[in-house]
Amino acid sequence: MAGRTHGVVAEPITFGFKVAGWVAELDRSIARLELAAQQAAIGRVSGAVGTHATVDPRVEEHVCRELGLEPDPVSTQVVARDRHAGYMSALAVVAGTLERIATEIRHLQRSEVGEAFEPFGKEQKGSSAMPHKRNPVMTERVCGLARVVRGHLVTALENTALWHERDISHSSAERIIFPDACAAVDYMCQEMVKVLSGLEVKPERMLANLQFAGGVVFSQRVLLALVESGMSREDAYVIVQKAAMRAMDGSGPGFRASLEQDQEVTKRIGSRINDVFDPWAGLEHTDLAYERLSLGVSAS
């Protein structure tokens, strides 16, 4: 399929390679959440200002052990709120990761792209007014909820600087933001599991889009082939850019066809033209991603 930068076709990739990027980011997010959860799983039973004035530290140790918490090495009336801010940060970064994947699917489901689709029930209606509609509503919802979690992080960070041995200003805020953010990210995960496990991938549309404007996605390969043939990079760039721009304008016969009509080009790389426009060329290193992620999956 076409890899895209700036929303513009760039060079070939595979869908599996794209997913590998998601896997790597999700792995990091899981690690982040686990660490943040561990840093927040802290208890204290240390009295009104944290000094254990009226409660033996062994009580704290016993209670925390029973609850599966670590005792805070030093507390005030509460466990310090940097831990909570750290946990909310992890939630917000995870929400951003889910948003990134969701945004990708929303793009792929665009009418003009059509390369992947959220699951859609046989009896489902995308719109009561427009029967043709099949909208990426789950991934849109996930994007919206990521914004909510980001907002909650602002709140959690502001809760850190409590006065002296504690003021209770954080409490009214935490009662809202922590259940809401945890529930939101949990729901986002569930939605994305549904989306990804039921994702309809359209290889034929991927291949068709890869040939956009007669194969401009191969422009770098053409450029390099011309340079290897001895042409200066400047000259080659002008030829390739002109053919590509005309092709994308719709005013020429398509990128590859246009080049094949250019004698200077065919003289130099005509015999290799199938290689230059081979979608699999340049993908030989993508297996590396799976190896590095220990996924044991091959792109081929």
Identified binder of a second copy from the candidate list 45, 116, 213, 231, rule CB under 8 A: 213
Q: Check residue 229 for interaction with a second copy (CB under 8 A).
A: no
Task: Check residue 269 for interaction with a second copy (CB under 8 A).
Answer: no
Member of 43, 136, 254, 279 binding a second copy (CB under 8 A): 136
What region does 95 belong to: left with phi over 0, alpha with psi -120 to 50, or beta? alpha
Q: Which is closer to a second copy, CB of 174 or CB of 262?
A: 174
Contact range with a second copy by CB under 8 A, out of 261-269, 270-278, 284-292? 284-292
Q: Closest approach of Cβ 66 to a second copy, in Å? A: 19
* Sign of the alpha-carbon torsion through 220, 223, 229, 232: negative
The least distance separating a second copy from the CB of residue 70, rounded to whole angstroms, comes to 10
* Contact call for residue 86 and a second copy (CB under 8 A): yes
Q: State which residue, 155 or 229, has the beta carbon closest to a second copy.
A: 155
Query: Any idea which residues carry the catalytic annotation?
Result: 6, 127
Does 248 contact a second copy by CB under 8 A? yes
- Answer yes or no whether residue 76 interacts with a second copy by CB under 8 A: yes
Residue 10 engages a second copy in binding (rule: CB under 8 A): yes
- Binding flags for a second copy, 148-187, as an x/- string (CB under 8 A): x-xxxxxx-xxxxxxxxxxxxxxxxxx-xx--x---x---
Total chain residues near a second copy (CB under 8 A): 142
